[in-house]
Every structure is written in C-alpha cells, then in structure tokens.
Amino acid sequence: MILYLDTSALIKRYILEDGSADVVGWMKDAELIGVSLVTRVEMVSALTRAIRGNRLPSDEGVEALDEFRAQWTDFQHINIDDALIVRADLLAVAYGLKGYDAVQLACALTWKDLLNVPVKFATYDVELYSAARKSGLDILP
C-alpha cells in the first residue's frame, strides 16, 4: 500500500487518541508513506500546542516532538511548487477547503499522478475527507 498522511492522521502516530492504533497499523503496512512539506510545521505546531494547552504532559510532548523530527526523513516529502499551489487554489474553490487542507489534497493528488498507482489518503478532517473522496482518492479511515 502507498499511503499519504495528512497532519490530522499523522498526529495520531505521536499522540495517543482515537484512531492511533489504525494509523500505526496503516503505517506498518505501507510500502511508502508520503507527506506534504507543510506537514512538518503543522505537526510541530500541533505538538507544541498540545503541551502548552496541558493536553499532553511536557515530557511526553518533547519526546513525541523529538521522535517525529527523527523520523521526518523516513517519509516521502511532496514538494510544493507553483503548479501545486495553483492546483490547491482550484481545490480550495471547488471544495471550500482551508488553505493548508487544499495544499494537503493537492499534494496527495499530485503524488498519485506522479506515481501512477493508487494512493490511500488518510485524514481525520471531515471536510478534507469529503473533498478527497470527491477527488477520486481512496480514503482512510
């Protein structure tokens, strides 16, 4: 399986919450895991906000952040260029997506086009899930 994870899915690998076991299982089964370059900043932001908001103990949060940064090179990074941003622009209009959600979807679709194979798209964002489904991606969960 070729797997693309948006931030709402990948965060579950580093913070134990509903869906974490599924994400870990999908990642183990995946031959290749892709993420957008913006995922790095979104992940760091989500982890540090969880620490500041006391939703995650500081020591666990720092450990999760260190683990994520160490594993960053294990993921296939989908680069963002002008063509991808234009695609995200069109997706934002077509599906009413927030900016980075449109970029995530554009990255997954572009990666699928480049690989020319099916890509499983994992997201826990309801609006992004709907847009990805309408765009023809195989969706998880």
pLDDT tens, position by position, 93-127: 999 999 999 999 999 999 999 999 999 999 999 99
pLDDT computed for residue 20 by the predictor: 98
Return the pLDDT at 89: 98
Amino acid at 38: V
Contacts of 81-84 with C-beta under 8 Å, sequence gap 24+, read 83/110, 84/110
Mean pLDDT calculated for residue range 53-71: 96
Q: How far apart are CA 69 and CA 34, in angstroms?
A: 15
Which domains does the chain carry? 2-140 (3.40.50.1010)
The pLDDT, as a whole number, for residue 100 is: 97
H/E run at residue 35: strand 32-36
